[in-house]
Structure 1
Amino acid sequence: MTGLALDLIGAEVLFPDGIRQGRLSFADGVITADPVGRSVDLDGFLVLPGIIDLHGDGFERHLAPRRGAMKEMVEGVVSAEAELAANGVTTGVMAQFFSWEGGLRGPEFAARVFAAIRDVRDEVVTDLIPQLRFEINLLDYYEDLPAQVAEWGVDYVVFNDHLPHDRLAQGKKPPRLTGQALKAGRNPERHWELLQELHRRSPDVPAALDKLVPALTASGIRMGSHDDHTAADRATWRARGVRIAEFPETTDAAEAARNEGDSVVLGAPNVVRGGSHKGNASAVDLITMGFGDALASDYHYPSPRRAALMLARSGICDLASAWRLLSDGPARILGLADRGRFESGMRADIVVLDTGDHRVAATVSAGRVSYIRGEIASRLIR
């Protein structure tokens, strides 16, 4: 399906040179320089490039609405895609854990999620991109991982380390261990033993990563590190060839990434909340210092749009610059040269906001409507 052929007129449009009133035309799924002949008056609306969400795990509640209800994986992905579209997302990275935590974050569940994404990607309108969040202490999985990501159709891997190393080094059980174990379907004592064993093998992790990362690189896998805490952390990952810093926890880590030309992804909920819920560096401060390339939904799909609007209202940057953190910036990080801005020949990925409440009125992905509501639907029908 090639989608609609329309000339959008009367709206304020974010063109590469800024926001101004003008015509935006598209046909056969791409932006066109010339009119296509069917006009829709969008006076009172703001037309922006579609949101490219670089990291979102808000789909978990769709795949597993309650414990034990994890049977309809495909239906869950379809439902999550509808929420992405309703929030202006035209390209959504679905970030799935591959973790010792088990349950919804365990390797077996990850395999089912990636299979479901693969099964529906060609059926839904939003472009869905699977991301593997790999816990680096899972040494027993390293050998098979390159073949697994190829089988799953995953080309974006982010490395995590969520083990509570400080407490484990002291021989102390982490808080909420029992609840975590039960969610994973494990005996709490067995879970405690697993954490201790994974921590004990930590000295073997760097050498294993030094072997794994080149193998993934050779397969064309894009890679990032999650929650870098220090400049040294970022330098270590960069030396391996991992050039995306996802949610750096400190200014030093973000600055180190920026100074070496690495890409920095920040959490949109951090902007909306006015700070990190874990006490890490403020995304607003990092953006103000020029240390952010993109904003991602993290755990809340409405947050990217809200974050861009808040940055503009607060005067930290204009709306055009703020919105590029959701569109052009993420496109460059993912190497998606066909989207992220309105230029002739680019994908017709569009989000339309009502200028009154700035809520999403319509979302178009590659020229196909994925979401529409209210007055704009009436204008399109007319």
Structure 2
Amino acid sequence: MPIDLTFTGARWLSPHGLRGGPLAISGGLVGAAAGGRPVDVSGKLILPGIVDLHGDGFERHLAPRRGAMTDLAAGLVSAEAELAANGITTAVLAQFYSWEGGLRSPEFARRMLAALARVRPQLDTDLQVQLRLETHMIDDFRTVLGLLAEHDIRYVAFNDHLPHDRLASGRAIPRLTGTALKSGRSPEAHLALMQALHARSAEVPAALDAVCADLRRRDIRYASHDDASAEDRAIWAARGAAISEFPETREAAQAARDRGQPVVLGAPNVVRGASHKGKVSARALVEDGLCTALASDYHYPAPRNAVWQLVDLGQRDLAQAWALISSGPAQVLGLTDRGTLAPGQRADLVVLDATTRRVEATLCAGVFTHLAGETARRLVTA
């Protein structure tokens, strides 16, 4: 149940920058005036809750070892605890629907979505879903539309992980045996499936045009993933995919921004200072203003760590950097009720120690989802 209280003594990030003075929350919303029980959090920073619009770190909780986790609901509860401990108040779980099998298989996607439906009423973090659909699974597109409706999924990203160059030339596929084992197939069967999907490449553009038209009619957001060029971005923009997720080149990111379209980059790339796959540096794209939002990708601490990297390097001040993980992603997702600490917004916020930058409290719609350290002690004794 939401609590009514007023934080005092902290600096907090208003829509107009860092300020002092009290910050009230009441009825699950940011209040316009002080009220409720006062809690002194001197020495702390209060920032808008993190909106993570693409993260697959939850997979570690669902399957720490292949075949070891049978209760996916328990894994999702554990994942929510990690999200909250990292200041994330809205989390878009990026679930594959892919020929790759294993955790990325259609069967696992259905299991995960069913488990989320069961456990979601018990959780306070806003858990949403992005379905990551492989472009060449054209025979599954009708089924996927039904799955989106059944689970009220409002966000789709299109991926293509087929090694087309190698399949076209008949060259060996790197790590074929390992990926086949993860999929539950023999290497021969896994290769045959990839070859069959690749052979239908000529059918894919028309199938994508049709399914994207369906998504538009259903008012579902959809993104391209790993745009490699301005031409890639133009093709997807023509299909109505306004979001460019993790573009691989500066050219692709620039093409999106030239169209006024949002660019989502991976926060781990910013923390590393470079792509682990040798693609364009997200940190450089942020510096050049070619980023709308940062996402956790595979590591939930990465969004806030990326912010501090940008601040410490002098690339952005705190308000500008934090917007990349709060108001920026909220706008991409069309979530107008969160992302800032303005009166009337959801009381989604994170309390950080100003010196250590440790997350000491996370609130989602005025409910504590994480509480630790000195802030916990002050709250108990207030």
TM-score bracket, shorter-length normalisation: over 0.9
Matched, 1:142 2:141: yes
Question: TM-score, normalising length from structure 2?
Answer: 0.98
Partner of 2:335: 336
The residue number in structure 1 matching 2:248 is: 249
**Superposed displacement of residue 122, structure 1:** 2.0
> For the Cα contact (< 8 Å) 1:12–1:19, is it kept in 2?
yes
CA offsets per residue over residues 76-115 of structure 1, 9 Å max, x none?
Answer: 1110000000000000010011111101110000111111
Tell me if the contact between 2:26 and 2:36 (Cα under 8 Å) persists in the aligned partners: no
Shift of the alpha carbon at 1:60? 0.6
Instruction: Give distance in 2, aligned partners of 1:68 and 1:145.
Output: 25
On the 8 A contact 1:10/1:43 being kept in 2, the answer is yes
**CA RMSD between the two structures:** 0.8
Structure 1 letter corresponding to 2:3: L
Task: Indicate the residue corresponding to 1:133 in structure 2.
Answer: 132
* Structure 1 counterpart of 2:206: 207
Residue by residue over 1:186-212, the C-alpha shift from the partner in whole angstroms, topping out at 9 and shown as x without a partner, is: 111111111111111111100000100
Distance 2:255 2:167 in 1: 29
The runs of 4+ residues in structure 1 deviating greater than 3 Å are none
Query: Are 2:45 and 2:352, in contact at CA under 8 Å, matched by a contact in 1?
Result: yes
* Contact 2:24-2:36 within 8 A present in 1 as well: no
8 A contact 1:93–1:128 mirrored in 2: yes
Rounded Cα–Cα distance in structure 2 between residues aligned with 1:365 and 1:348: 6
Q: For 2:254 and 2:56, how far apart are their aligned partners in 1? A: 26
CA contact (8 A) 2:257 2:263 kept: yes
Matched residue type, 1:353: L
Distance 1:246 1:360 in 2: 27
- Provide the rounded CA distance (Å) in 1 between the counterparts of 2:114 and 2:255: 37
What does 1:42-53 correspond to in 2, within 5 Å? 42-53=41-52
Shift of 1:184: 0.8
Normalization by structure 1: what TM-score?
0.98
Describe the superposition over 1:115-160 as per-residue Cα deviations: whole angstroms up to 9, x where unpaired.
Answer: 1122222210100001100000111101222111111221110000
What residue number does 1:4 align with? Answer: 3
Q: Which moved more, 1:203-212 or 1:137-146?
A: 137-146
CA deviation map 1:155-193 (0-9, x unaligned): 110000011111111111211101111111111111111
Q: Secondary structure at the match of 1:82?
A: helix
SS at 2:142 equivalent: coil
Deviates more, 1:29-38 or 1:361-370: 29-38
- Structure 1 contact 230–253 (Cα < 8 Å) conserved: yes
Question: Alpha-carbon deviation of 1:219?
Answer: 1.1
Q: Which residue of 1 aligns with 2:37?
A: 38
Is 1:295 paired with 2:294?
yes
Q: Residues of 2 paired with 1:37 and 1:182: CA distance?
A: 57
Please give the residue correspondences for 1:207-226 in structure 2 after superposition, counting only pairs within 5 Å.
Answer: 207-226=206-225
**1:86 pairs with 2:82:** no
C-alpha distance in 1 between matches for 2:197 and 2:298: 27
Task: Indicate the residue corresponding to 2:122 in structure 1.
Answer: 123
Q: Contact 1:173–1:192 (CA<8 Å) still a contact in 2?
A: no
2:264 maps to 265
**Quick check: 1:117–1:130 contact (8 Å CA) kept in 2?**
no
Q: Residues 1-382 of structure 1: matches in 2 within 5 Å?
A: 1=1, 3-382=2-381
- Separation (CA, whole Å) in 1 of partners of 2:220 and 2:118: 21
AA matched with 2:363: V
* Counterpart contact for 2:350–2:362, Cα < 8 Å: yes
Deviation at 1:234, TM superposition (A): 0.5
Whole-angstrom CA distance in 2 between matches of 1:375 and 1:359: 10
Ranges in structure 1 where 5+ consecutive residues have no aligned partner: none
Q: How many residues align?
A: 381
Which region of structure 1 is more displaced relative to structure 2, 111-120 or 362-371? 111-120
User: Within 2, Cα distance between the matches of 1:167 and 1:19?
Assistant: 52
Which whole-Å CA distance do the structure 1 matches of 2:229 and 2:117 have between them?
36
Letter in 2 for 1:356: T
* Distance in 1, Cα, partners of 2:21 & 2:322: 18
Question: Larger deviation: 143-152 or 273-282?
Answer: 143-152
Q: Deviations over 1:318-340 (max 9, x none)?
A: 01100000100011000000000
**Is the 1:257–1:263 contact (alpha carbons within 8 Å) kept by the matching residues of 2?**
yes
Letter in 2 for 1:149: L
